[in-house]
Copies of this chain bind each other. A is one copy, B any other.
Amino acid sequence: MKEKRTLMLPGPTPIPEHARQAGAQKIIGHREKECEDLLREVTEGLKYVFQTENDVLALTCSGTGGLEASIANTLSKGDKVLVLCTGAFGERYATIAERYGIDVERMNFPWGEAVDVTRVEKRLEEDTTDEIKAILMTHNETSTGVINHPQPLGELAEQYNCLLLVDAVSSLGGIELKTDEWGVDVVVTSSQKALMTPPGLCLVSVSPKALKAGEDSDLPKFYWSFKRAKDRYDRDTQTPSTPALSTLYVLREVLAEIREEGLENVFRRHKVVAKAIRQAVQALGLDVLVKDEKIASKTVTAIKLPTEIEFTILRQRLKDEHNVYVTGSKGKLKGDYFRIGHLGNVSRTDVLATISALELVLQKEGLEVELGTGLQAAQKVFLEEERR
């Protein structure tokens, strides 16, 4: 019997069994009442996870499409924006904006570190003519495993009268994001991350301020026009184009499960799993990229590759011998780090399977690893959590 698959990628993530089977339900017409009920339930569930009263739109595309939509819907050609880049996904957000003729100012931070809010504040202070229309940021930088806290940036956006657009693709539903309380105008996430649903849906919350800004937007869009989606939903609880129905079936189940577990418990579970992974790999003598626990991601961890082993070999052995899937790194970290994703439908068992496999492969590759050291460190985190 083949070992059970342990998918530890920063997306796509495993789907809970019950929800996965729901995706195989027979198809319904997208202009029928059954579909309106489906979309309403999903939207209400999303509002709970987004912690928002804003409109939440379900677009049929991946997260990248949603990031593009966040720009195309709120900005105009030549608008100046400040993009906070802490890794590859901050870079990507900037690149998309550039393709749309936006005047992009990148504020770069070292990979592995978080946004330094004082630098942002200083820059906004200097912007005496209110040239900067929006701040674009990555909540959880998937390439490095760093959390950038949106709250202080929401306050600055309010104070300096610009929009705050947040890429929350690998965070929403795994790491706290209080959309309304923190003043985030647009939050973009996708179905295949902490929302434990197949890829194909992008979920976007849009504040009244962002909708207002969008009224003057001159960038071309039709398919992912927020206005078109909002108007249609408000009118008859439908989407302008045929939505990814089967994916919505799954998402409805997942959202019900999240509500049942309770958002606080979901975040807590992610924290415990992340800590267990971090403690375990460090107990094995491996370095994590992000040392500071406060900014360390609860959904993905970048770990330094020991010099004795190449990533392709580590990946292949973990996969072939243990059916455990991890991923490599991007951009300037490529070849030096590997990443373990731990978001969505992750449990202690997944941590144990992953760490055990890692210990065995590293030892077989000739590294000095005492079997069980990482597992023990993980167990200690579990015990500590139980005693809380």
Query: Which A residues are within 8 Å of any B CB, using their own CB?
Result: 5, 7, 9, 11-15, 20-21, 23-24, 26-32, 60-65, 68, 72, 95-96, 99-101, 190, 192, 198-201, 219-224, 240-247, 250, 319, 325, 327
Pair A24/B20 contact, Cβ less than 8 Å: yes
Task: Report B-chain residues with C-beta under 8 Å of the C-beta of A244.
Answer: 198-200, 244, 247
Task: Report B-chain residues with C-beta under 8 Å of the C-beta of A27.
Answer: 7, 12-15, 192, 198
Task: Report B-chain residues with C-beta under 8 Å of the C-beta of A5.
Answer: 26
With contacts A24-B20, A27-B192, A29-B7 known, is A12 near B245, CB below 8 A?
Answer: yes
With contacts A60-B60, A60-B62 known, is A246 near B198, CB below 8 A?
Answer: yes
The minimal Cβ–Cβ distance linking A69 to chain B, given in whole angstroms, is: 8
With contacts A27-B198, A247-B198 known, is A99 near B220, CB below 8 A?
Answer: yes
Task: Report B-chain residues with C-beta under 8 Å of the C-beta of A224.
Answer: 65
Task: Report B-chain residues with C-beta under 8 Å of the C-beta of A12.
Answer: 27-30, 242, 245
* Cα–Cα, bound, A247→B24 (Å): 10
Pair A242/B11 contact, Cβ less than 8 Å: yes
Pair B219/A220 contact, Cβ less than 8 Å: yes
Pair A220/B222 contact, Cβ less than 8 Å: no
**Closest chain B residue to A219, Cβ basis:** B220
Task: Report B-chain residues with C-beta under 8 Å of the C-beta of A62.
Answer: 60, 223, 241-243
For A222, give its contact among B7, B96, B241, B247 (CB under 8 Å).
Answer: B96
For A241, give its contact among B14, B65, B327 (CB under 8 Å).
Answer: B65
**Most chain B beta carbons < 10 A, residue from A27, A68, A241, A327:** A27
* Cα–Cα, bound, A34→B110 (Å): 35
Task: Report B-chain residues with C-beta under 8 Å of the C-beta of A21.
Answer: 24
Task: Report B-chain residues with C-beta under 8 Å of the C-beta of A11.
Answer: 242
The minimal Cβ–Cβ distance linking A290 to chain B, given in whole angstroms, is: 22
* Cα–Cα, bound, A199→B28 (Å): 11
Task: Report B-chain residues with C-beta under 8 Å of the C-beta of A198.
Answer: 27, 244-247
Pair A200/B247 contact, Cβ less than 8 Å: yes
Task: Report B-chain residues with C-beta under 8 Å of the C-beta of A190.
Answer: 242
* Cα–Cα, bound, A243→B192 (Å): 10
Pair B223/A61 contact, Cβ less than 8 Å: yes
* Cα–Cα, bound, A278→B29 (Å): 22
* Cα–Cα, bound, A13→B30 (Å): 10
With contacts A15-B27, A26-B14, A62-B242 known, is A32 near B247, CB below 8 A?
Answer: no
- Which 4 A-B pairs give the minimum distances between C-beta atoms? A200-B244, A198-B246, A24-B24, A62-B241
* Cα–Cα, bound, A27→B26 (Å): 20
Pair A101/B60 contact, Cβ less than 8 Å: no
With contacts A68-B222, A95-B222, A247-B198 known, is A63 near B241, CB below 8 A?
Answer: yes
Task: Report B-chain residues with C-beta under 8 Å of the C-beta of A95.
Answer: 222
Would you list 12 pairs from A and B whose C-beta atoms are within 8 A, ordered by A residue? A7-B29, A14-B26, A14-B27, A23-B24, A24-B24, A61-B61, A62-B241, A64-B223, A65-B224, A68-B223, A198-B246, A244-B244
